[in-house]
Amino acid sequence: MRTITYQDLLSKYTSMRGVDTLLDHEKVEFNNSLNHRIKQIWVKHKWPDLTVVVEKTLQAIENETVKAEKAVRIDNADNLYDVFGVFDTNPYEQRVTERYEYTLIDGHLVLPKGTRATSVFVVGSKVPADDYSNGYFSGEGRTDIPAFMEWMLLSYTMADHYRADGQNEKSMAEERKGDEHMQEALDRFERVEGQNRIPVVTYPPRSLGVSRVTTQRNI
């Protein structure tokens, strides 16, 4: 994944503000806005640059909220955030893969009763950092901000600045710019997704008279 640094964004944001440096409270406001907007964008779509495939081992789980034969806790995972699909093999490595139904319950990924698999491959998103300024006042900030977010973040953080300053028309204009940059990124994503359709095996009800159906579909 291509990345940009916190310092790159801070420098461009400062330039857009028309100043040489930001005051301490302005840096705090920028950091809060940046972290909030990154997390908003992160969960907005299935971004290819944020997609991961993680193998998870299933086990029986029984506690106050979850009772399942085949499940795994994922809300404490350091390598998986949102879940897009669950498969028997890595869908990006195998010619045909089986997709499993699943339910998310109280931070657990739960497969249907009777599932034979002992492990699954989960396609989802990476885990975002808590603070991309990384304690700016004691360091230089993180260097792994997704590059495709750059212009979205600059527009959205400017929108937040103008809104806090009571300049609502300018805020709305920057918000629209951010949305336009997001749409451009989505258009690119759709082109990439169209080139990466994966054969997926599904198992329809027996009443339909077929044992399985293989279809081309996106994750």
| 117-175: pLDDT as tens digits | 999 999 999 999 999 997 656 568 899 999 999 999 999 999 999 999 999 999 999 99
Q: What is the pLDDT of residue 216?
A: 54
- Taking the alpha carbons at both ends of the chain, their separation in whole angstroms is 19
DSSP state of 209: S
CA neighbor of 140 nearest in space, from 39, 10, 15: 10
Where does residue 113 rank: exposed (0-12), middle (13-18), buried (19+ CB within 10 A)? exposed
Statement: residue 184 has pLDDT above 80: yes
For the chain, give the mean pLDDT: 89
Task: Name the more confident of 49 and 204.
Answer: 49
Confidence of residue 191 (pLDDT cuts 50, 70, 90): confident
CA distance linking residue 45 with residue 36, whole number of Å: 16
Q: What is the pLDDT of residue 206?
A: 41
CA neighbor of 123 nearest in space, from 38, 47, 203: 47
CA distance linking residue 9 with residue 50, whole number of Å: 19
CA distance linking residue 174 with residue 165, whole number of Å: 14
Q: What is the pLDDT of residue 135?
A: 65
Query: For 22-45, what is the mean pLDDT?
Result: 95
- What values do phi and psi take at 86, rounded to 5? -125, 130
CA distance linking residue 121 with residue 144, whole number of Å: 25
Model pTM score? 0.85
Give SS3 for 110: strand
Span of 91-95, 99-103, 116-120 with lowest mean pLDDT: 91-95
Statement: residue 205 has pLDDT above 60: no
Q: Tell me what percent of the residues of the chain surpass a pLDDT of 90.
A: 77
